[in-house]
Amino acid sequence: MLARAEAGVPLVIGTAGTCGADATVDWMFDITAEIAAELGQSLRIARLYSGQPAGRVIAALKDGPGPNRCRSRWKPGPMW
């Protein structure tokens, strides 16, 4: 938080690489706002939500590859 303030850049909180789920983005925002208040900092915060309903993902996987569809990139293999 101190380095961000020194650099004068906004803080980005998102599901990809930071929080993992939409609800956790909100939780992290609340904690961050509380810390900023304790440090006397004003913030510009971007919250990025990329969660998808499970049913949408399951349906897209069942439809198979194609335009506007998805496929699993996971390939079973040895763990070690």
pLDDT by residue (tens digit) across 27-59? 888 988 999 999 998 888 888 887 778 887 777
pLDDT at position 61 is: 72
Domain residue spans in the chain? 2-63
Q: What is the mean pLDDT of the chain?
A: 77
Band (pLDDT 50/70/90 cuts) for residue 68 is low
Does residue 35 or residue 12 have the better pLDDT? 35
Secondary structure (H, E, C), the chain: CHHHHHHCCCEEEEHHHHHCCHHHHHHHHHHHHHHHHHHCCCCCEEEECCCCCHHHHHHHHHHCCCCCCCCCCCCCCCCC
Q: Taking the model in full, what pTM does it have?
A: 0.57
